[in-house]
Structure formats: structure tokens, C-alpha cells
């Protein structure tokens, strides 16, 4: 759940309160705009999760001059505090994208559209996300390799997950091999849990699911989330990779508030530099070796197309000179749809003992992956996010507008929950069949199965009997014609309530030459040109079975090694 708290609490006050307690903890005052060189060996566009990792790793080579360009500014001070992430949504650190109005979905949302947050600050989306560290399923990466991308199987990429990670959680002997220690990105277990968290874990156990390490060899089960935090403070690529690299290595320059508008090519279609706007001025910088685009699943294909690399017909329609016709740029776009709004009241523990979910702040309590009903049972088709609180916990003041529900839906469906204790379960589709602008009907059917599993968990004794959990079974407005609890009713529910989980990937697909929609090869080089790579989540041929921040760290780490190998440097 998100809401734009900053609409109601002045941002200056929030920053002042945070700065008093965390003075000096978020110091990113190393902008190199005043000492920009004419030429660098490598230019990295985008200082997000992958971009920060690849820039820091390239700067390890002492003789290479590396420039990192970031469209946003430094991470805002409040980003350090995990519990203030709600303030960051639709703030200056967010690109503030919204989806186009949908014909067949988002029926419960204003304008049939929803907020689509992506980070616009040093650290990118790692600066504004919910900090859950989930690598995905080993079968995700094995499929990448099976699709014609050698070197991207789970056994190949595991070392890069471990290389990036400094795991500070509870180590289990059976999963210790899979965890990394001493890497740049700190990963901790969620530092505290509410009674609701323990009740959900118990409910999972009652249904036959173990409490698992979510980043161990297998994924099926219930888990306390791993978080990209360090001593309870948010960890971003800016803190984990960029700032330490700048402090140690003078060959890395970081320029902020630099919005790259074009990649420059010579007559041989080699990327030789970039043009960017900063404070109203247009500046140009050249790359002697390569340009690396790490602007994310929205920004990377956009920049390629603005530079003449993309679908020829589309570029000519916008009067952009074509450098190379690449029909796949912007295609293969994928995300994880989630259902927001499946709500239970749970009043017994709090009303009698003051220990229910209401006794702790709103937040994600548990992650779970259920066994798949179709195909490989250990390759989950659904992830479940268990969240303390209901959409009415704030009396309709903030949450409704932030999520994007229509006021009509709130008043008819959630208003009766005002003042009541409860929790919400969000089924998330981990392996959607929908691509780009095409919605696949099977995705609705899978989410319906997810709703049924969520109801089963909510009805387990640990929740129903011990917490007094009761599902909010009031018919959803717009679905009254369907029989409540039937598959058509839940399909209607999905079309009204499902929305993005903010995990965009796939728009610059990694693929072999035989795939007409491929954009980069398995070394992340862009087809049809030279001196240009894409290194971020947009290269995923298929989305991973979980939150996407951890895989983007891995892509940045592996991308840096691929570049080093091509230029004769042995990876460290």
C-alpha cells in the first residue's frame, strides 16, 4: 500500500526531523559537474541498482576513466528510514509515471489508471522501493539460458548474487552456500515482527508449508522477508556501490541532475558519446570504449529510440533518424500484477490483549510462494504479500488516493472497515504471460487461483481462531451480478483490483540472433551497433519469480565482468 503522505506533511519538515537523527548518514555531495572531462573510457547512463553496480565495478580498473550520469539528484534524507518509504512515492525522487487508461482492467481505479513509480535519484528505484531482497527461482535463470543466452543459468549467476551480497541475517547450515558475505549490498532479515507475522507463518505451517530461507536453493514456502537494509537503515546502490567507489577511486566521476537525451554514433554505427541536459544547458561528453545504458525498463528503451535505435516505422513516425532498425526495443515489457484489497478483519488479539496487527506499524509481514498447480510445482506462479492493516486503517484520508481507488469504490466497499483492525493479502503473479500491451486471459485465471489460496491461508486456525480473522466478504462494487465466491466473481474482482507491483522489466530483451524481438545478445551488446550495451532489468527475457531489485544487482555485477573480459581485464 502506498499513499502520498508528502501531500499532507511538508517535505521540509520531514527532512528536518530525519536529518536531526541521521546527520551525516546520507552524504552524497560528490557531484563532479564542475570537473567533467571531455572524454571517458566508459559512460554509464543511469545511477540505479544495476547502473551503480556496473559503474563501481568498472572503476576498479585503475587506468579506466568512468562517468556515471544520473537524471535525479542525491537520495533524499528521508529515504534512509525504511518506514518513510511512503513519503517517497510521487515525490521528487520518483519519475511519477502513470499507466495509460486500461480497457479491461483497473476498473476500481481513478481513470482506469494507476501510479507506476520508478526512482529518479541516485540509487534509482532502490532509493524508493520496499527493500525486499528476492533473487527469484533457479528455474527463471535456467530458462534464460535455455532461450539461447549462454552463461545466464542459475549456476552461472549465483556467484554474482553472492558477490553483491553482505548477508547479515540468520544463517542456516542448509542454505549457507547460497548466501554471500562481504559484498557491497547489505541484506538483513526483517528486524522485527508483529504478532500477525508469527500467526501467518504458523498458518502456512498448518497448510504444510515450511518457513524457508527465501534466497536458498528452493523457493516454495513462507518466509520472513530479507531486506536491503544495514543496521535498520535503507541500503541503496548509491550507499552500497557508488559512494564507496567515489571515495576510494578518483577515476569515477558522478554527475547528477543530468538527463541524457541522445546516444551519439559515428558513421560506422559505433556509440561514441552522449548528449545530456543539466540545469537548462545541453552538454556533450565522449566515450572512448563504450556507452552503457542502465536507465531501467522504461528509460533504456526510450533512450535507444530517441537515439535512432528501435522499430523503424515508429522512429520515422516521430521524425527520428534511424541508426538501426530494432523492432524489439520497447517490446517484451513485463511486470508482476498484484491484487490490492483482499482484506480480513482481525480484532480478537488487539481488542482483548493489545497485541494484534494494529499494535505495530503498517508493513509487509511475510512473503510466501505456493506450489504451482500447473507445470513444475516448484516453479511458483504466485507470490503472496501479507500486509498489516486494511485500506481503511487511516479512515480514508491517505491510502485511497495513494493506491488510486475511486472514492466511489472506497465508500461502497471499504468504509464499513473504518476503525477495525485487520490485514491484507496481495497475490502477485510471478510468471505472467502478458507481454507489452497485450493482456493474456490465463493471467486472470492464475490470479483467481491466487485468491483462493489466500482465502485458504486466511481461514487457517492460526488466523481464524487465534486472531479472529474474518474475510471482508462484502460484494465488490461492479461485480454484484456474479455469484460471490464463484470463479466469474473472482475474475471480475481481478479486473477491478489488480494493478502493477512496480517491477517493470524485459523491454530490451536479451536473446539469440534468431529471436526477432531480441535487443541485446548474451554479453548485453546492442544489436546492429557497436560500443553500446544495456545493463539493467530491461534485458530480462522473462521476469523473475519475485521482487526484481536483487536480480538487477546481479545483472550489474555480471555486466561489469562481461565488459572487463571483452577489454582484456580478468574479473576480480
C-alpha distances in Å from residue 55, one per residue of 159, 285, 504, 527, 561: 19, 16, 22, 22, 11
Burial 210-222 (b: 16+ CB within 10 A, else e): eebbbbbebbbbb
- Reply yes or no on whether 104 is catalytic: no
Please return the burial class of 362, using the count of CB atoms within 10 Å of its CB with bins 0-12, 13-18 and 19+: buried
Query: What is the distance of C-alpha 169 from the center of its chain?
Result: 21
Cβ distance 320 to 305 under 8 Å? yes
Please check whether residue 58 is in contact with residue 289, taking contact to mean a CB–CB distance below 8 angstroms. no
Write the CA distances from 144 to 140, 154, 521, integer angstroms.
7, 9, 12
Whole-angstrom CA distances from 270 to 32, 263, 291, 528, 547 are: 26, 10, 10, 9, 35
Catalytic residue selected from 472, 496, 503, 522: 503
* Sign of the torsion formed by the C-alpha atoms of 372, 373, 376 and 377: positive
Whether residue 448 is annotated as binding a ligand: the answer is no
Flag whether 329 is marked binding: no
What's the CA gap between 272 and 295, in Å, rounded? 18
CA gap 274, 295 in Å, rounded: 13
44 is in an annotated binding site: no
The partner residues of 255 in beta bridges, in order of sequence, read: 69
Going by C-alpha positions, the residue among 190, 189, 168 that lies closest to residue 240 is: 168
Cell of 172: 542456516
Q: How many CB atoms lie within 10 A of CB 354?
A: 9
Torsional sign, CA 390, 392, 397, 403 = positive
**C-alpha to C-alpha distance for 185 and 183, rounded to whole angstroms:** 6
Handedness of CA 409, 415, 418, 423 (dihedral sign): negative
Strand partners, 310: 325
* CA 12/CA 146 separation, integer angstroms: 51
The strand ranges marked E within 9-162 are 39-45, 66-69, 97-98, 115-116
CA-CA distance, 434 to 439, in Å (whole number)? Answer: 5
502 assigned ligand-binding residue = yes
d(CA 134, CA 453): 21
Nine-digit cell at 166?
553482505
Q: Which has the closest alpha carbon to 477: 400, 556, 568, 411?
A: 411
Q: Environment class of residue 291 by beta-carbon count within 10 Å: exposed (0-12), middle (13-18) or buried (19+)? A: buried
Distance, in Å, from the CA atom of 471 to the CA atom of 467, rounded to the nearest integer, reads 12
Which residues have C-beta within 8 Å of that of residue 269, sequence separation ≥ 6? 323, 324, 528, 529, 530
Q: Helix-strand-coil percent breakdown of the chain, rounded to 5?
A: 35, 20, 45
Residue list, annotated binding site for FAD: 260, 502-503, 537
Residue list for the binding site: 260, 502-503, 537
Q: Which residues are catalytic?
A: 503
Amino acid at each position: 500500500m502506498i499513499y502520498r503522505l508528502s501531500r499532507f506533511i511538508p517535505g521540509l519538515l520531514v527532512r528536518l526531523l530525519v536529518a536531526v537523527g541521521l546527520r551525516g548518514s546520507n552524504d552524497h555531495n560528490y557531484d563532479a559537474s564542475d570537473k567533467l572531462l571531455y572524454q571517458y573510457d566508459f559512460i554509464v547512463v543511469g545511477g540505479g541498482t544495476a547502473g551503480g553496480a556496473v559503474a563501481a565495478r568498472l572503476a576498479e580498473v585503475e587506468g579506466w576513466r568512468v562517468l556515471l550520469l544520473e537524471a535525479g539528484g542525491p537520495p533524499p534524507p528521508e529515504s534512509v528510514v525504511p518506514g518513510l518509504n511512503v513519503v517517497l512515492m510521487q515525490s521528487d525522487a520518483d519519475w511519477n509515471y502513470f499507466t495509460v487508461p486500461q480497457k479491461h482492467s483497473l476498473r476500481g481505479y481513478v481513470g482506469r489508471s494507476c501510479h507506476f513509480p520508478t526512482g529518479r535519484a541516485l540509487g534509482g528505484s532502490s532509493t524508493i522501493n520496499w527493500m525486499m531482497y528476492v533473487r527469484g527461482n533457479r528455474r527463471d535463470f535456467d530458462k534464460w539460458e535455455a532461450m539461447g543466452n549462454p552463461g545466464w543459468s542459475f549456476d552461472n549467476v549465483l556467484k554474482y548474487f553472492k558477490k553483491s551480497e553482505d548477508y547479515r541475517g540468520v544463517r542456516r547450515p542448509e542454505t549457507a552456500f547460497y548466501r554471500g558475505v562481504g559484498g557491497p549490498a547489505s541484506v538483513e532479515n526483517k528486524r522485527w515482527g508483529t504478532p500477525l507475522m508469527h500467526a501467518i507463518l504458523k498458518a502456512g505451517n498448518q497448510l504444510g508449508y515450511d518457513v524457508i530461507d527465501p534466497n536458498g536453493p528452493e523457493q516454495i514456502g513462507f518466509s520472513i522477508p530479507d531486506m536491503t537494509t544495514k543496521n535498520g537503515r535503507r541500503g541503496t546502490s548509491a550507499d552500497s556501490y557508488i559512494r564507496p567507489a567515489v571515495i576510494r577511486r578518483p577515476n569515477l566521476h558522478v554527475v547528477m541532475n543530468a538527463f541524457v537525451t541522445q546516444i551519439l554514433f559515428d558513421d560506422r554505427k559505433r556509440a561514441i558519446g552522449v548528449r545530456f541536459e543539466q540545469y537548462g544547458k545541453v552538454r556533450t561528453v565522449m566515450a572512448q570504449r563504450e556507452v552503457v545504458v542502465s536507465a531501467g525498463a522504461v528509460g533504456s528503451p526510450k533512450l535507444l529510440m530517441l537515439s535512432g535505435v528501435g522499430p523503424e516505422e515508429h522512429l520515422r513516425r516521430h521524425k527520428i533518424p534511424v541508426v538501426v532498425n530494432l523492432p524489439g526495443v520497447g517490446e517484451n515489457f513485463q511486470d508482476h500484477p498484484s491484487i490490492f484489497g483482499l482484506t480480513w478483519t482481525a480484532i480478537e488479539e488487539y481488542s482483548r490483549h493489545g497485541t494484534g496487527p494494529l499494535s505495530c506499524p503498517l508493513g509487509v509481514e511475510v512473503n510466501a510462494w505456493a506450489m504451482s498447480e500447473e507445470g513444475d510445482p516448484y516453479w511458483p506462479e504466485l507470490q503472496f504479500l501479507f500486509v498489516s492493516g486494511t485500506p481503511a486503517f487511516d479512515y480514508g484520508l491517505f491510502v485511497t488516493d495513494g493506491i488510486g481507488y475511486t472514492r466511489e469504490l472506497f465508500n461502497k466497499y471499504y468504509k464499513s472497515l473504518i476503525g477495525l483492525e485487520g490485514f491484507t493479502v496481495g497475490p502477485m503473479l510471478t510468471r505472467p504471460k502478458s507481454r507489452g500491451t497485450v493482456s493474456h486471459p490465463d493471467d486472470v485465471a492464475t490470479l483467481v487461483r491466487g485468491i483462493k489460496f489466500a482465502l485458504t491461508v486466511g481461514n487457517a486456525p492460526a488466523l481464524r481462531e487465534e486472531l479472529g480473522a474474518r474475510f471482508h466478504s462484502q460484494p465488490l462494487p461492479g461485480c454484484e451480478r456474479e455469484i460471490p465466491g464463484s470463479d466469474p466473481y473472482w475474475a471480475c474482482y481481478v479486473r477491478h483490483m489488480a494493478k502493477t507491483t512496480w517491477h517493470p522489466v524485459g523491454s530490451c530483451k536479451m536473446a539469440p540472433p534468431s529471436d526477432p524481438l531480441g535487443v541485446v545478445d548474451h554479453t548485453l551488446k546492442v544489436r546492429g551497433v557497436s560500443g553500446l550495451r544495456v545493463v539493467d532489468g530491461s534485458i530480462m527475457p522473462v521476469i523473475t519469480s519475485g521482487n526484481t531489485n536483487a536480480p538487477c544487482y546481479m545483472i550489474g555485477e555480471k555486466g561489469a565482468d562481461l565488459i572487463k573480459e571483452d577489454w582484456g581485464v580478468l574479473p576480480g
